[in-house]
Amino acid sequence: MTTTRLDADEERVTRAQRLLIHLGAALVHRPFDTDTHDRLRAFLDQDASQVLASLRVLQQRPEAQLRKRIAELAGHHILPTGR
């Protein structure tokens, strides 16, 4: 089985998404937890700008390239739009 790896931008955005979902859930569960607030602030201060830059890079990819990349990562073929 061949494993397709994420590129640096994909990895950065994916890790950030997972972290933010986790932190969001933690804030809902315990809205006044100072550790969660500190972790969110640290992300915003230290990592958010790089993640947003990576997200912009990914958003600049043409649709055909995105579809091809999704298919590679998912391990199957995705039909083009309009079919």
Domain assignment of residue 33, given as a range: 8-74
Residue 79, pLDDT score: 57
38 occurs within a structural domain = yes
* Burial track 52-67 (b if 16+ CB lie within 10 A, e otherwise): eebeeeeeeeeeeeeb
Q: Is residue 18's pLDDT more than 90?
A: yes
Q: For 56-78, what is each residue's pLDDT tens digit?
A: 999 999 999 999 988 888 886 55
Number of domains the chain contains? 1
Write the single-letter amino acid at 36: T
Q: Which two tokens stand for residue 22?
A: 């986790």
In a domain, 83, yes or no: no
Mean pLDDT, residues 18-36: 97
pTM comes to 0.80
* Dist. CA 10–CA 8, nearest whole Å: 6
* 80 in a structural domain: no
